[in-house]
Amino acid sequence: FRRDAALILAAFPDLLDWLQHKPSRVIAHAGHWPNLLRVGQHFCAHPRPDCYIRELPLPISTKFIEQQQTILRELLEQVLPADAIDLTAKKFTARFGLRDKEPWIRLRLLDAALRDQYRLPCDALAIPLSHLARLDWQPPRVIITENEVTFLTLPMLAGSIGVWGEGFQASVLADVPWLAECHLLYWGDIDAHGFQILSQLRAAFPHTKAIMMDQATFKEFEALTGKGESLTTAPPHLTADETKLFQYVATHRLRLEQEHISHAYAVNQLQSALDNQLL
């Protein structure tokens, strides 16, 4: 303990108060302090380095930093200036200005005219979220699906782009500003999680409309329901009818997955929405 305490105070004299109040933290990480302090000193010299952990120019294993994030977070919050810490970020990487693995978003252009307009060589692509956000696109309609198979089988629809939301990852689409300028449709499972995802999208894009997440669709395919999650609190951004259906499926722990809705029914519903200018 004395050896580690001496190392800590030699590197960061201002940690004396922390050291006196939390000696157990020093003991718990005995043997690791030389490397922990190297990380702390590097971040003090280069705050918010905007690189991946692997790219930090330190003679320390990437795994070490990943495995020691709890104590490193505590250390960095003691030694870094306030403007070097994003207090709103929970993840270690975002909190201290490191890069993280970025989500890739899969798209399908459901109208050949859009493919030509955007000068794309194909009608399906995957793109990093930050690049997607910077595109100067203004498609009339975007349809987000929860599951991959339904994304892959979306029919051709005039002026429309399909996006695979990949479950709760759909929430990251809040970082795509041009989605606020188009008609936005969400099609998810009729279960507690599906309605949670819908609510998250509406928090970012209040104009989001749901399709095939209604009582009529549920009744049509109710025989194909499976076991779902039991949740007691309805998400905040649902309509009255959606809240009622959420409460029913959540209370009875039911799930109607998108894949159980027949393709013919889905195509008809999407085309009807387009014809009625709901899309």
Residues making up the chain, counted from first to last: 279
pTM score, whole prediction:
0.77
Same-domain check for residues 241 and 159: yes
Phi, psi of 93 (to 5 degrees): -60, -50
Q: Are residues 46 and 119 in the same domain?
A: no
CB 161 within 8 A of CB 139: yes
Residues near 152 by beta carbon (within 8 Å), at least 6 away in sequence = 108
Please report the pLDDT score of residue 230 as a whole number.
Answer: 82
Contact 53, 32 (CB under 8 A): no
Burial classification of residue 200, based on how many CB atoms lie within 10 Å of its CB (0-12 exposed, 13-18 middle, 19 or more buried): buried
Burial string for 236-254 (b: 16+ CB within 10 Å, else e) reads: ebbeeebbebbbebbeeeb
Rounded Cα gap, residues 188 and 104, in angstroms: 19
Q: What was the pLDDT predicted at 248?
A: 95
- Integer CA distances (angstroms), 236 to 197, 201, 203, 246, in order: 11, 11, 9, 11
DSSP annotation of 183: E
Domain boundary among the residues 95, 124, 153 is at 95
Q: What is the pLDDT of residue 222?
A: 95
Tokens, residue 268: 């008809």
Based on the domain organization, do 76 and 112 belong to the same domain? Answer: no
Beta bridge partners, 187, equal 145
Q: Which of left, alpha, beta for 95 (phi over 0: left; psi -120 to 50: alpha)?
A: alpha
Are 84 and 168 in the same domain? no
Beta-bridge partner residues of 142: 161, 184
For the chain, what is the domain count?
2
pLDDT at residue 277, as a whole number: 66
Low-confidence ranges of the chain (pLDDT < 70): 277-279
Q: How far apart are CA 201 and CA 170, in angstroms?
A: 7
Q: Domain range for residue 144?
A: 104-275
The answer for residues whose C-beta is within 8 angstroms of residue 270's C-beta and 6 or more apart is 143, 154, 155, 157, 211, 279
Q: What is the reported pLDDT for 278? A: 54
Q: What is the CATH number of the domain that holds 133?
A: 3.40.1360.10
Residue 79: the pLDDT is 96
Q: Name 218's Cβ contacts closer than 8 Å, sequence gap at least 6.
A: 190, 225, 245, 249, 256
Measure the CA–CA gap between 33 and 247, rounded to whole angstroms.
52
Residue-level pLDDT at 232? 79
Report how far Cα 97 is from the mean position of its chain's Cα atoms: 18
- Residue 102: its pLDDT value, please? 86
Last residue within a domain, chosen from 42, 63, 95: 95
> Which of 74, 95, 116 represents a domain boundary (last residue)?
95
